[in-house]
Amino acid sequence: MSIRQHLLIAFTAVGFLSAPHLTGVAYADSHAQAALALDSNAISDVAEKTVDSVVNISTEAVVESEVDPFFGDFFGGGGPQKMEGKGSGVIVTANGRILTNAHVVKGATDISVTLQDGSELKAKVVGVDPRADLAVIQLEGKVPGNLKPIPWGDSASLRLGEIVLAIGDGLGVGKSVSMGIVSAKGRGLRIAEYEDFIQTDAAINPGNSGGALVNLKGELVGINTAIASRSGGYSGIGFAIPTNMAKPIMEMLMKDGKVSRGYLGVGIATVNSQLATEYSLPTQKGVLVASVEDGSPAEKAGLIAGDVITAINGNAIRTDDQLKNTIAMIHPTSSVDLDVVHKDGKTSTVKAKLAELPEQHDAMQPQIAPTQQKSRKTSRTRGAFQP
């Protein structure tokens, strides 16, 4: 039986339950046709080439549990409790450096890594960046000489509909591979300070966090991080940190153990037609400067509330997340050219010298909430069966 027939059978059984599910048949058919358009062994070749570069991560953490004020003395409880977690990671160097999510190793007192051959090694944290939910750990002891660092890909070159594979320890049952497509790019979920997620419908479940999203060249294009789900399980909406964001953060963590980000000092909001009308803005594109911090690089450069930033160093800026991420990835003390539309409609290029974002300082956040946004439960994928 062909791949296409298997997929159609699987989805047709669901599709006839009710009319809304009939879309599942067309969805499966598109996947099948895309798969059949490839060489029959292409997907298997990629999976077998990259699976050894992904590891399973088990953690232990000690947390303080609360005592029930009514039953604590009778039933006990309270005090330190041991918690276990499951996640995934990607081998990035031959000497045992592994890239994963910060939430996978957060608070861990013990980290164990299981390699493809079943061997288990302890690991220590090299650096953590909770603002982007990334971490680097290092295998301890005698590191095997046959580790396979994963090749890096260019996440910016990903196209909508492009086939990708997700590899990781989904639901804690062991490492596995799932296939899907790139559903969207540049997603922001407000679960981390810095976000530029790749959305995919490749099956991603709790335990997949920190695992690899790879293209059909066998290159790493994303670090699987979160799922959008009503139940906490797979619903066809998964998110991965793109490599073009993850790689420079990883390199800073490996070099310095921390991440240094550029700091402008403004509160921002994405400009749209409604915002432009409500605040009488002279443009409907760009990012509104809603507030300027005292003594910040923005104030020193002459930016004021009501200005709209449309480009940084000649590159168009459309959203608040794009501006925030761009500034963050520019080295502190660097100067940037900001194309600005002022309140009176005049335009100018403002030069600002960035500072370093303080560790305890909140990143630039939107100051004006979207007028309509449907609620959605978004779950990081850490731990077996964790919603």
Distance, in Å, from the CA atom of 263 to the CA atom of 333, rounded to the nearest integer, reads: 9
Confidence at residue 63, expressed as pLDDT on a 0 to 100 scale:
76
Domain containing 294: what range? 262-356
In a domain, 221, yes or no: no
pLDDT score recorded for residue 371:
29
Q: Does residue 220 sit within a domain?
A: no
Residue-level pLDDT at 329 = 93
Judge whether 296 lies within some domain. Answer: yes
List, in order, residues 6 or more apart from 163 with CB less than 8 Å away. 34, 35, 38, 43, 179, 180, 181, 215, 216
Q: What is the pLDDT of residue 368?
A: 44
- Contact (Cβ atoms closer than 8 angstroms) between residue 7 and residue 32: yes
Answer yes or no: is 280 within a domain: yes
Domain assignment present for 331: yes
Q: Can you give the three-state secondary structure of 180-212, one letter per residue? A: EEEEEEEECCCCCCCCCEEEECCCCCCCCCCCE
The predicted pLDDT at position 58 comes to 95
List residues with catalytic annotation. 103, 133, 209
**Is residue 272 included in any domain, yes or no?**
yes
On whether residue 305 sits in a domain, the answer given is: yes
Dihedral, 152, 156, 157, 160 alpha carbons, nearest 10: 120
CATH classification of the domain holding 278: 2.30.42.10
Let me know if 26 is exposed, middle or buried by CB neighbors in 10 A (0-12, 13-18, 19+): exposed
Per-residue pLDDT in tens (0 to 9) along the chain, 387 residues: 333 333 222 222 222 222 223 233 344 455 555 555 566 688 999 999 999 999 999 999 987 666 555 545 545 556 678 889 999 999 999 999 999 999 999 999 999 999 999 999 999 999 999 999 999 999 999 999 999 999 999 999 999 999 999 999 988 888 899 999 999 998 888 788 888 899 999 999 889 999 999 999 999 999 999 988 777 777 789 999 999 999 999 999 999 999 999 999 999 999 999 999 998 999 999 999 999 999 999 999 999 999 999 999 999 999 999 999 999 999 999 999 999 999 999 999 999 999 999 876 665 544 443 322 233 444 454 332 222
* Other Cβ atoms closer than 10 A to 80: 8
Q: Indicate whether 384 belongs to any domain.
A: no
Indicate the number of domains in the chain. 1
pTM of the predicted model as reported, rounded to 2 decimal places: 0.78
